[in-house]
Every structure is written in C-alpha cells, then in structure tokens.
Amino acid sequence: MTAPSDLATPGTRRLTSPDLLRSVFRRHAAGVAVITARGEAGPVGFTATSLSSVSAEPPLVSFGVGTGASSWPAISRTDHIGVHILGEHQEELAATFARSGADRFGAATSWRPGPEDVPLLDDVLAWLVCRVVGRVPAGDHRIVIAEVVHGDPAGTGRPLLYHQGRFNGLRD
C-alpha cells in the first residue's frame, strides 16, 4: 500500500482539502441551473452547478444547497422546487441568482407561477417542477433529491456552462 505522502510528485502543490476541492472543480465544466421555490415571503432561488440526474425510474434529480444560503430555509420546508436549465444568453440571470443579496425576482427577472405554484423562469432551455423526496446532510450542505412531476424541454439555444470561476458558452 502506498502512503498518501508517497503519491505526491515533485512540484505538486500541497493544499488543504477545501482548497484542493475548489481548485480541482474549477477545472470541471458544469451546466448551469437555477433552482427556485415558493418561500413564505415570496419566491426564492439560487444558481446551482451541482444538478445531477439520479434515476430514470422513478425520474429523480439531485442538487446541493448550502445550509447558510438565503434560499435554504424555503428549500428545507417546501414540497416542490423548480429546476431551470439556463442558456448561454442567460449569463446575467445566472449571476443574479448567484449573487448574495441580489433582488433575484425583481423587474429584470421574467418569471411566472407554474405547476404546484413553483416560480418558473421564462426563456430557459428547459424546466422541471419536482417533488422533494429527500434532504441528505452533506457537510455544510444538503443534497436535495426530488422526483420530476412536470416539465418542458422545448426551449431553444445552447447551454450555459460554468468553468474556471466564470460563465461560458460552448465553443464551436
């Protein structure tokens, strides 16, 4: 068995675990989604790059949300959430929903109430409304697992990606 210290190669930076994780995942391109929910004081939402397909039968998705996030209280109590796949034309929308203290559902955000009264963003590539079936503790986050109950994959355009700390489109 090789000791972890023996795995280091010359010139390898030694990073603490959180810094190492952030550094590695900056190199991992991810699709950009916005998660929304109905909150007591109005709609809430946040930008997520942790969205994953979990199961086809039943149709399940998952995403991570920090327990310190402003959206967490609503996400922790709601029965249904919205998942929105953003297009490359929605970089500013992604930035708004990622920014702490932003007026996420202000005049610049076009949205409407959808099925299960979940806030739905307009002009996205695709959206889902999902019923929350689990919230799994994971460090300072929760992994939310939700079953798809409604959706529309018919938006047009190319996906927005997150890579190296920036929003990007696909290159031709």
Q: What is the CATH number of the domain that holds 104?
A: 2.30.110.10
Residue 170: how many other CB atoms lie within 10 Å: 10
Please indicate, yes or no, if residue 170 is contained in any of the structural domains: no
Please indicate, yes or no, if residue 4 is contained in any of the structural domains: no
**Inter-residue contact 47 to 32 (CB < 8 Å):** yes
Please indicate, yes or no, if residue 171 is contained in any of the structural domains: no
Please indicate, yes or no, if residue 103 is contained in any of the structural domains: yes
Judged against a pLDDT cut of 80, whether residue 10 lies above it is answered with: no
Q: How many domains does the chain have?
A: 1
**Inter-residue contact 158 to 32 (CB < 8 Å):** no
- The model's pLDDT over 19-64, given as tens digits with 9 standing for 90+, comes to 888 888 787 789 999 999 999 999 999 999 999 999 999 999 999 9
Residue 73: C-alpha distances to residues 68, 105, 118, 128, 171 (Å): 9, 17, 16, 21, 38
Please indicate, yes or no, if residue 167 is contained in any of the structural domains: no
Query: Does the pTM exceed 0.85?
Result: yes
**Inter-residue contact 36 to 124 (CB < 8 Å):** no
Please indicate, yes or no, if residue 15 is contained in any of the structural domains: no
**Edge-first strand listing for the sheet containing 80-85:** 42-48, 33-39, 80-85, 126-138, 141-152, 59-66, 52-56
- The mean per-residue pLDDT over the stretch 61-90 comes to 97
* Backbone dihedral angles phi then psi of residue 111, each to the nearest 5 degrees: -150, 170
Please indicate, yes or no, if residue 135 is contained in any of the structural domains: yes
| Proportion of the chain above pLDDT 90, given as a percent | 76
What distance in Å separates the CA atoms of residue 163 and residue 156, rounded to the nearest whole number?
22
Alpha helices in the chain (DSSP H): 17-25, 72-77, 91-98
DSSP track, 64-77: EEETTSTTHHHHHH
Range of the domain at 86: 30-162
Please indicate, yes or no, if residue 64 is contained in any of the structural domains: yes
Judged against a pLDDT cut of 80, whether residue 2 lies above it is answered with: no
